[in-house]
Amino acid sequence: MSEALISRLVEFAESGNQQKITLAGQTHQGWIMEITEEALLISTGYADKVGKDVWIQFADLDQAELQYWDNKHDQWTIFKI
């Protein structure tokens, strides 16, 4: 994957307190834990026994809406790749 895309995804991961990815009618809200050459991992759990880790392929991000929680304005903000 391109360095530019990976850099933008790192910026997304570091934006706000949490991230939210909506894809194919499902919303995954949590924290970006890992970015590889092909996908990113979002952890949706707030404790070891609750939530799950979801891998999202870069190819699927074209159809996804990315948002992050903006603490300054207390609202979800859209993030464009």
Tens of pLDDT, residue by residue over 44-55, are 976 556 778 999
* Rounded distance between C-alpha atoms, residue 65 and residue 21, angstroms: 6
Map out the domains of the chain with their CATH numbers. 3-79 (2.30.30)
Place of tokens 């970015």: 35
Please answer whether residues 80 and 62 qualify as being in contact, where contact means their C-beta atoms are separated by less than 8 angstroms. no
**Which residues does 60 contact at the CB level (< 8 Å), separation at least 6?**
23
Distance CA 8, CA 81 (A): 6
Do 44 and 51 touch, CB atoms closer than 8 A?
yes
**pLDDT, tens only, 15-69:** 988 999 999 999 999 999 999 999 999 999 765 567 789 999 999 999 999 999 9
